[in-house]
A and B are shown apart, each in its own frame.
Chain A
Amino acid sequence: MMERLRLWWPWILPPVLMLIVYRHGLSSWFQQDDFAWLLQWRQFNSWSDLPGLLFTPQAQGTIRPWSERAFFLAGYGLFGMDPRPMHALVALTQIGSLWLMASLMLRLTGSRIAAGLAPMLWVISPGLGTPMSWLSTYNQILCGFFLLAALTLFIRAAERPGVGRTWSAMGVFVLGFGALEINLVFPALATAWCLLYAPWQWKRTLPYWAVSGLYFVLHQAVAAKPAEGPYAMHWNLEMGSTLVRYFGTALAGGRTLGPWRLPEWGWAPGAWVAGIVLLAVAGAAWRKGHRTPAFGLMWFAATIGPVLPLRDHFSTYYLAIPAAGLAMAVASLLASGNRRWAIAAAAVVVVQLAFAYQVTRAAERWHLERGAKLKVLFEGLERIAQVHPGKKVLLTGMDTATYWGGFFDGPHKLLGLNEVFIAPDAAARIQAYPELGDMGPTIASRVEAARDVLWGRAVVYGIEEKALRNITRAYAKSIPEHWLETRPRMLNFSGVVAEQDLGEGWHPVEVGARWMGKRAVVYLAGPGDGEVRLRVAGYLPEVCVKDGPVEVRVWAGGLEMGGGTITAKNLSFEFLFASPEALRGRSEVAVEIEVSRTYKEPGGWRELGLHFGQIGWAQR
């Protein structure tokens, strides 16, 4: 028994340590982007939808069919709003990676100590804190697995050539692109192994370089390339300082947390010392023929490389895969048999435990707590949908973490609740982050809230620690009368639009929308702070443009705002016009809309112009 344990501990202890370290993170609930991915399910109406759902480029042009699309489609389809089975898959994948890493280290160093320590050091690295706790970052975990699996198979194929081994390595590598774009760097990892351990095998890497090159070209064709914002790429010397920052963060967390009474920058000296020591000792070891520390550092550089141009999107979880390289480097030094190197590596581990591990723990606890708040919100909304069907929902008491941590992504849409808003004035306690999105559409205006609450069309709930409390009656009594006097700044025709805000030219209301004739008028309040556009949006059936395009002209407060054209290509139309400064703050602005042609209903009397939609001021 002890003999078996001595042989197998590198494959047993790291997974046990992982389950202990991430016991909180692996229990956390859905949050942030998770809801957008879960909402994919609503577009999955038949099997013919599946290819499009899996492979159509989405956010920033990413195509990650396994780690995002299939992961959430299958997770929600099979288990609904229970994240535990999805976390179990995350844990199993990472256990697979830990096993692969142990095997790889045994192969590279011949040491069981290195084989066991490397995955354990990877487990405590700050890069894994978020991916082990937040399901939307499963792409990091799965990509790490594919890279390790492909490298293991590549080395086996190089050591014992065979068609099956060669193609299985290539197959796993190609599948890895379905996890994350960083899979692109695999040829660099394979080349690094060849360079250090088997230089005569370098030609084997050429097909991998070709595949990565092809993928790069294809990805560039579909990926968004924003010129500004967090995802703008900065190909310049600043990439060097970003690399140093990531290296320091991997070693010492990038923040000072834990029991230490140190200033905020207290982690930095530790990171510098650990970094310099590690580089120096790895260099010395290479000169003496110990190549694994150098391989680990090459792994780090190769896998962090693709995110270095993202200067303004520094994320600790981008270290999930590169941290494996540092773990390999440090573990191989600890097990090298050279006392000086081992002591130096132990010092690096002390820094990691003192600083970096605290960040790992904080990340998983933070995700657990944020998820718990979102669970309270979601379950409350689920209950509201049951007991107040068809009612608009206004929320008070929401904090910044809950808002940006999930509410903004629309979890209520999973429940079929489309009208859930932050109550007026309740948004004051939520910090705005314009780079994350426009809060405007999620906040009810005073006039809408007053009308909907006082006429019984809306319910108001306060968010408490463990439940949502119905405060409709108290809220209604607190609404000042002048809220009813004002005009709305946005008319949403999918809900109830008061007749008093409509001027001439409108046909009677229909379910969820309203037709105008040739010319129609609505009355809005003038644009508020940050509302820089007038948004006019709706839909036109194809039959309305069969005789040619429909020209639209819009005036506001007597000023011509501009126009647009509706053809068969933009039947779901949206026109945005710059808000004139002269209208800002006005209590009433008449918005007039006119179309060049109308469609006469067969057998009916109505002249149909446009079908709305929304008319109102917007922040974008």
Chain B
Amino acid sequence: MRRLKFIYLLALAPLAGCNTYRRPNPSATIEEPSELASMVSMGEPRDESQILNGFGQTESNAWRWTEKRFSVSLGTPLAGRMKGARLELKCAVADVIAAQLLPLTVGVKLNGRALEPRRLTAAGQQSVLFAVPKEALGEDAVVVEFELDKTGRQGGEAREFGLIVVSIGFIEP
């Protein structure tokens, strides 16, 4: 009887904690050559090459301080070429410099073409949206240049502080 119990347990025990993970076969798909993303995240190492200038170091693997002017390159979404798009700047106005910045005007140019600027009046996290006509998205890629009308200073540091940016990209209109 004891032997039977042992065999039973031996048969079932591995079910409890066995590992069914397997490493995907890299040859199982044939991928396209990489292209520019239409949305870049500040904490995403893969997007680093699209962050052009005007940004500080990545903080907490999620966000970066900007300077007065900052820019990124973005791939243009195919639907955007047909229907236009919205450019989304996910950012925050830091409480510590809000008094120096607000109200703050954010201007933007796509391949040199200016869009309607936006005026920020509150501190904290926000999503700033710019309407983008389809004519501005005719190329495979665009350089997006932002400009703030002012920046702030904090903690006796010499550098200028603008927005805290999380991501920049195109979304559905």
Contact = CB atoms under 8 A, between A and B. Distances in A.
Interface of A: 41, 44, 47, 73-74, 76-78, 80-81, 376, 379-380, 382-387, 450-451, 453-456, 461, 464, 466-473, 476-477, 479, 481, 484, 498
Contact of B29 (A74, A78, A81, A468): A468
B78 A469 contact: no
Contact of A78 (B14, B21, B79): B14
Contact of A74 (B11, B27, B39, B77): B11
Contacts of A470: 29-32
Grouping DSSP codes into helix (H, G, I), strand (E, B) and loop, the B interface class, with mixed when no group exceeds half, is mixed
Contacts, number: 84
Contacts of A481: 82
Contact of A77 (B15, B32, B38): B15
B1 interface: no
Interface residues on B, range: 20 to 34
Given A76-B20, A467-B28, 5 more contacts: A77-B15, A379-B24, A382-B28, A451-B172, A484-B83
8 contacts: A81-B20, A376-B28, A379-B28, A380-B28, A386-B24, A451-B79, A453-B78, A466-B27
B113 interface: no
A547 to B, nearest CB: 37
Interface in B1-49: 11-12, 14-16, 18, 20-22, 24-32, 35, 37-39
Given A380-B28, A380-B29, A470-B29, A484 B22 contact: no
Contacts of A484: 79, 82-83
A469 B29 contact: yes
A44 B15 CA distance: 10
B83 to A, nearest CB: 6
B19 to A, nearest CB: 8
Contacts of A73: 15
Nearest to A415: B24
Given A74-B11, A481-B82, A472 B25 contact: no
Interface in B156-173: 171-172
Interface string B77-105: 11100110000000000000000000000
A144 B171 CA distance: 61
A382 B18 contact: no
Interface string B129-153: 0000000000000000000000000
A257 B11 CA distance: 42
Nearest to A469: B30
Contacts of A76: 20
Most chain-B Cβ atoms within 10 A of its Cβ — which of A76, A455, A464? A455
- State the main secondary structure of chain A at its contact with B: helix
Contacts of A78: 14-15, 18
A77 B12 CA distance: 10
Nearest to A377: B28
A508 to B, nearest CB: 13
A468 B30 contact: yes
Nearest to B85: A455
Contacts of B171: 455
Instruction: Pick from B35, B38, B82 the residue with the most CB of A within 10 Å.
Output: B82
A461 B82 contact: no
Contacts of B12: 74
A454 B30 contact: no
A47 B77 contact: no
Nearest to A450: B79
Given A73-B15, A77-B14, A382-B25, A456 B32 contact: no
Contacts of B28: 376, 379-380, 382-383, 467-468
A455 B28 CA distance: 25
B172 A383 contact: no
B136 to A, nearest CB: 17
Contacts of B22: 80-81, 382
Contact of B25 (A383, A461, A477): A383
A379 B14 contact: no
A385 B20 contact: no
B71 to A, nearest CB: 21
B79 A455 contact: yes
Given A380-B29, A454-B79, A385 B24 contact: yes
Contact of B16 (A47, A453, A476): A47
Contacts of B15: 44, 73-74, 77-78
A471 B83 CA distance: 22
Contact of A473 (B24, B32, B83): B32
Nearest to B81: A454
Contacts of B18: 77-78
Contacts of A44: 15
